Structure 1
């Protein structure tokens, strides 16, 4: 066979194999489908009266390490410790304000008095957070499970709550709450009413 013809034949064969391989790869890619299912469960709907006065952004990097002791027979019993460690960055927004469910407002039109009872204390109303797993190291006999990830998520939210309680967010929310009361008093006085704030049975502001 002529050398030129042989070279041309090899080239054509290689080109045909390349085209066939590309077609096969594309067909496999087209056959791959992502199937997702979502189930929304709505257990209960209730009316709430909550007033957010302060929100703060909190972030923290923390590590969690757990160990598991395993006895191996080699052939004598030998005890080994296997660790797993997670380094997690948690970022979130903490909403602080007042739950007004127990607030009681009464109006005496004859005496022109507006009475506020059961004023709530500022509290953390909600925490919106996300986790970023910076590092996950696990052992052969001690790997991460779905329960571990759930526990890390709960622990991260608890740490954000602790950070918020140690900050000045509650104090700032209390200042904002007092400003709201002052605004109510101003509007009431403009309408010819007096505002009385009662804690228990004792007025604390007139």
Structure 2
């Protein structure tokens, strides 16, 4: 009788342990599946616009941006926050032909340009990474701080792109395209621009590509 009681006890413990392990596995799977992050996106198309924008040059930039803000607490304690941001961007520079003003002289097969727009940044694809983020006890980064930093870094990148040779390259490219296209159709392009517009265009067309030194290479090969 004692042996059967002991055997019943051992079987009960084993059965209870198996049921407990099974219940734990079942509930852990259910809880684990519920712990996955929920994602929901809503995309609204606000409007569609017809544009005539042509990309003529693209450049790749890297910007190292240092941000630091010191906060004085009762003029006794300086609580500062700072961050190092490395930004990479692909910048596309070209022309919005919707801003071009011209008229056609059909009998002479001539297109007269009355106003030629300046090159502009048409698109900027950016990637930002934050490094060495330090915060004080009270002077801490907020979501608005990150937004402001990224906007300022993007504005700086935009200015650097316009100060580079990209606008000059784009200007030379677009004029070459226009004159070649007109020539293939036996048309002419006459630039009758206001003096101020002409000066700006001349400034951009002052760009000269670097010579490849073909003559010197030929001389070396001959020798």
Q: Which TM-score band applies after superposition, normalised by the shorter structure?
A: 0.7 to 0.9
Q: Unmatched 5+ residue regions in structure 1?
A: 72-77
2:205 aligns to what? none
Give secondary structure in 1 for the equivalent of 2:150: helix
2:176 aligns to what? 179
Deviation at 1:98, TM superposition (A): 0.9
State whether structure 2 residue 66 is matched by structure 1 residue 63: yes
State whether structure 2 residue 191 is matched by structure 1 residue 194: no
User: Is the contact between residue 102 and residue 115 of structure 2 (CA under 8 Å) also seen in structure 1?
Assistant: no
State whether structure 2 residue 114 is matched by structure 1 residue 114: no
Cα distance in 2 between the residues matched to 1:63 and 1:197: 45
Q: Unmatched 5+ residue regions in structure 2?
A: 1-6, 199-223
Deviation at 1:21, TM superposition (A): 4.7
Cα distance in 2 between the residues matched to 1:66 and 1:124: 30
Give secondary structure in 1 for the equivalent of 2:146: helix
Structure with higher strand content: 1
Counterpart of 1:143 (choices 127, 140, 143) is 140
Cα distance in 2 between the residues matched to 1:10 and 1:159: 72
Give secondary structure in 1 for the equivalent of 2:137: coil
Give secondary structure in 2 for the equivalent of 1:124: strand
Give secondary structure in 1 for the equivalent of 2:155: helix
Shift in alpha-carbon separation, 1:27–1:79, aligned structure 2, 3 A: same
Give secondary structure in 1 for the equivalent of 2:147: helix
Cα distance in 2 between the residues matched to 1:81 and 1:20: 56
Cα distance in 2 between the residues matched to 1:160 and 1:147: 20
Shift in alpha-carbon separation, 1:13–1:87, aligned structure 2, 3 A: farther
State whether structure 2 residue 81 is matched by structure 1 residue 50: no
2:94 aligns to what? 97
Question: How many residues are treated as equivalent by the alignment?
Answer: 191
Deviation at 1:107, TM superposition (A): 2.6
Structure with higher helix content: 2
RMSD: 3.0
Cα distance in 2 between the residues matched to 1:88 and 1:15: 55
State whether structure 2 residue 33 is matched by structure 1 residue 26: no
Deviation at 1:125, TM superposition (A): 1.8
State whether structure 2 residue 82 is matched by structure 1 residue 88: no
Cα distance in 1 between the residues matched to 2:137 and 2:19: 46
Shift in alpha-carbon separation, 1:21–1:137, aligned structure 2, 3 A: farther
Further displaced range: 159-168 or 16-25:
16-25
Deviation at 1:84, TM superposition (A): 0.9
User: Is the contact between residue 92 and residue 130 of structure 1 (CA under 8 Å) also seen in structure 2?
Assistant: yes
